[in-house]
Chain A
């Protein structure tokens, strides 16, 4: 059935390209909505009159990101596309992942990137846009809440723990925690809930609170037992079809032994003088299938070793050459440097990334057994 509010307009040609016919509504406006970067939540209506996007106050669309040039690019509306033209900006103007060499059309849904800012072309009523902005504000609040649950770096105990956590623009489901158990051993974990957005963050908070408060019927010194208990507590069918991956470890200093289990999670990297080991167990993610056993394993921890526990957002990163980094690349980034701290590793991954705002949460824990 045809929506009576919709009309169809004919093809228009610009710069040699064809624009597909698109619907129009009198109460709707074409806008660029900032969905990533420091100005997330703002939106700007686009008209046929060209508008400059830049950092300078004279620009029609002012962005606060330092990687945005004073006068970065121009945008205007042509038919139902936003046309974008780079203005010889320092860091380039990107449309759906490729750098603009000439003016290009951005259809509804296309994502423009200038500096760290991601702006999505949306065609919606002003009321809808206001709601979107409010929801983005809620996501920011959710990110702050997740961050508030993360423990501070551990600089006085043994092992020393440092971390780097950077939520993606749409907020992923990464979270982590650590603490001493009653028997004096040290437990730590990192989880990654599938998907992005408020639902993933809510699930992540629910899981992390269960682990923090130890309200799970499990022996927290036995990683396989913890994963089994989590799997019973969080089946995906009763949790919005969401599952999560986890890396859980327990370190016993007296024995210098690490007992660990991972479920669908990237291997942790154990870096020692004698060599580097990838620590994982071949278990499924949590919640995916009921009544399956979870195996655990052990590793010896030599003095001076470092253990890195990461989420897949640390390496599922698109480079400027449009290649996808993998775990091997991440491993090389960690090992090929004298700067072992998570913040430094984040900076090195970021230097390889096409985007300053990652596509997934970046979470990296370092346990230093120095």
Chain B
């Protein structure tokens, strides 16, 4: 399991997760993921296309990251989930707390259409 900073500009930080987001996977990336969250002023896109398994602990990590971002007045969007990962997010109704979009462009569009409070 790995988390990688794949892009950053003045508005958005992009992080990619890769591997199995189960208990062991979360142990490997959780601290680094939180450390990579930006200070106030930059939103976050988390790419999930390379995640092939998502358990309750993985969901907890994503929600905790979204809450941490929100405390800094930043917004966090998940993109690229598919298959079992998309099913797990849907089953847990995570879209009610974290926006989920199909692509990076859709995430950027969402940031544009939903100005910061």
Residues of A within 8 A of B (CB): 192, 194-196, 236, 241-243, 245, 263-267, 282-285, 288-289, 292, 312, 316, 324, 326-327, 359-360
Once the chains are docked, how many angstroms separate the CA of A241 from the CA of B57? 10
Q: Are A195 and B23 in contact (CB under 8 A)?
A: yes
Once the chains are docked, how many angstroms separate the CA of A253 from the CA of B2? 52
A195-B60, A282-B93 known; 8 new pairs, CB 8 Å cut-off, are A195-B57, A196-B23, A263-B93, A267-B91, A284-B96, A289-B96, A312-B56, A324-B84
Q: Are A292 and B87 in contact (CB under 8 A)?
A: no
> Would you list the 4 A-B pairs with minimal beta carbon distance, nearest first?
A194-B56, A264-B92, A284-B93, A284-B96
When the two chains form the complex, which single residue of A263, A288, A326, A360 contacts B87, counting CB atoms closer than 8 Å?
A326
Residues of B within 8 A of A (CB): 22-23, 52-53, 55-57, 59-60, 63-64, 84, 87-88, 91-94, 96-97
The answer to whether A312 and B93 touch (CB under 8 A), given A194-B56, A196-B23, A243-B60, is no
Once the chains are docked, how many angstroms separate the CA of A311 from the CA of B104? 32
Q: Are A284 and B97 in contact (CB under 8 A)?
A: yes
Name the CB-closest residue of B to A172: B56
Q: Which residues of A contact B57 (CB under 8 A)?
A: 194-195
Q: Are B91 and A284 in contact (CB under 8 A)?
A: no
Q: Which residues of B contact A263 (CB under 8 A)?
A: 93
Name the CB-closest residue of B to A282: B93
Q: Which residues of B contact A241 (CB under 8 A)?
A: 60, 64
Q: Are A194 and B59 in contact (CB under 8 A)?
A: yes
Can you report 10 A-B residue pairs in the complex whose CB atoms are below 8 A from each other? A194-B60, A243-B56, A245-B56, A267-B91, A283-B96, A284-B97, A312-B91, A316-B55, A316-B84, A324-B53
Once the chains are docked, how many angstroms separate the CA of A359 from the CA of B91? 19
Q: Which residues of A contact B92 (CB under 8 A)?
A: 245, 264, 284-285
Q: Are A326 and B56 in contact (CB under 8 A)?
A: no
Q: Are B56 and A284 in contact (CB under 8 A)?
A: no
Residue of A192, A241, A242, A284 with most partner-chain B CB within 10 A: A284
Q: Which residues of A contact B53 (CB under 8 A)?
A: 324
Once the chains are docked, how many angstroms separate the CA of A327 from the CA of B91? 10
Minimum Cβ distance to chain A for residue B90 (Å): 9
Q: Which residues of B contact A284 (CB under 8 A)?
A: 92-94, 96-97
Minimum Cβ distance to chain B for residue A36 (Å): 14
When the two chains form the complex, which single residue of A245, A266, A288, A324 contacts B63, counting CB atoms closer than 8 Å?
A288
When the two chains form the complex, which single residue of A195, A242, A265, A288 contacts B91, counting CB atoms closer than 8 Å?
A265
Q: Are A327 and B87 in contact (CB under 8 A)?
A: yes
Residue of B56, B88, B94 with most partner-chain A CB within 10 A: B56
